[in-house]
Amino acid sequence: MQFALTEDQIAVRDMAREFAAEKIAPFAQKWDEEKFFPVDVMREAAALGMGGIYIRDDVGGSALTRFDAALIFEALATGCPTVSSFISIHNMASWMIDAYGSDTQRQKWLPRLCSMELIASYALTEPGAGSDAAALSTRAVRDGDHYVLNGQKQFISGAGTSDIYVAMVRTGGEGARGVSTLVIDRDTPGVSFGANERKMGWNAQPTRAVIFENARVPVANRLGEEGIGFKVAMAGLDGGRLNIAACSLGGAQSALDKSLAYTKERRAFGQRLDEFQALQFRLADMATELEAARTFLWRAAAALDRKDPDATMLCAMAKRFGTDAGFEIANQALQLHGGYGYLAEYGIEKIVRDLRVHQILEGTNEIMRVIVARKLVEGAR
């Protein structure tokens, strides 16, 4: 296990942190207020290698590790967790094509995905299938060289703007074994989108339903064989959970940094806030929780990189712990700011709103506990 970063990892992290400070942080509040999706800025990030972080380099990817990706997403999230999280989703969907697609499929989509000329979304959740993802009902019926799709995906980040959708659909019987994965073009006849959802946070990326009404998708767009779609989806989520935990830590780090600056400047009862021992202890606890979550995240990322048998469990643990810690640190930062923390101009309330959903998406934290408990119980038998 690695407790110190290499020179290359420090360079990658610092590059992402500088990009976030220059290109993201100054505009994050405005993007949130205006519900603006900064695709051009994300394409600038892609030009630095962040559009295909762990995609193989023969199609334009950066061929970095999951550990490197965790450093990058945390750094980007110091500028805006919402933007960093969407770049994570794009990377996750692209990786599924890289890992499970044929060479023809990889060459068709990935060069433009790595540059973010094309934007990708991940489409698993449905109105009646969230945590119970294996119960999804979007149906794909084979008709010659095409599948005819009917159904709806819900809570899809980037929907309406994204060019392609890596979607899990039912091609067979009930349960996980009846699920396959299709890459679906936005302009496919029969594909439409719901209204942009009004959300508590994550306002700098659109969230819409994706609706399929007799949409014809080529069989050539299927990733792998029929029936492995649930496996593909879950493999994507292992890395996605690390990424979203990293985004939580980046938001929490920003909130802690803002708190340190605020308590140094703000005075009460004749002294600076950072001179009160009670507040010093709170800051110390916030920093400790952040460092503990970061250390755990690094361990889980290293396990995924080396394909450790416990990697899925460790990713679930890191996601649960990291997103819970990130939200709590941001919430404590808001409390330290008092009434000012509730005002938009200080940037804290946006971080709190953005990080709250991280405890829900990529598998709720209750489902993370199910994954961990199942592994523990099976191991004890």
Active-site pick, 213, 225, 362, 378:
362
CA gap 203, 193 in Å, rounded: 17
Work out the burial of residue 277: count CB atoms within 10 Å of its CB; fewer than 13 is exposed, 13-18 middle, 19 or more buried. Answer: exposed
Check: CB of residue 69 under 8 Å from CB of residue 53: yes
DSSP secondary structure letter of residue 346: G
DSSP-based three-state secondary structure for 303: helix
Measure the CA–CA gap between 336 and 367, rounded to whole angstroms: 31
Could you say which DSSP state residue 220 is in?
G
d(CA 368, CA 373): 9
| pTM more than 0.85 | yes
Taking the C-alpha atoms of 229, 232, 237 and 242 in order, what is their torsion angle to the nearest 10 degrees?
A: 180
The predicted-structure confidence for 170-196, as pLDDT tens digits, reads as follows: 999 999 999 999 999 999 999 999 999
pLDDT number for residue 4: 85
At 381 the pLDDT is: 66
Identify the DSSP state of 222. B
Q: What is the pLDDT of residue 2?
A: 62
Task: Give the CA distances from residue 39 to residues 12, 36, 69, 78, 223, in Å, rounded to whole numbers and listed in that order.
Answer: 22, 9, 20, 18, 26
Rounded distance between C-alpha atoms, residue 336 and residue 341, angstroms: 7
Look at residues 287, 244, 294 and name the one whose alpha carbon lies nearest to residue 73: 244
User: Which residues of the chain fall below pLDDT 50?
Assistant: 1
pLDDT-above-90 percentage for the chain: 96
pLDDT tens string 227-256: 999 999 999 999 999 999 999 999 999 999
Query: Is 349 labeled as catalytic in the residue annotation?
Result: no
Listed residue (230, 244, 328, 343) closest to 288, CA to CA: 328
Residue 190: per-residue pLDDT: 98
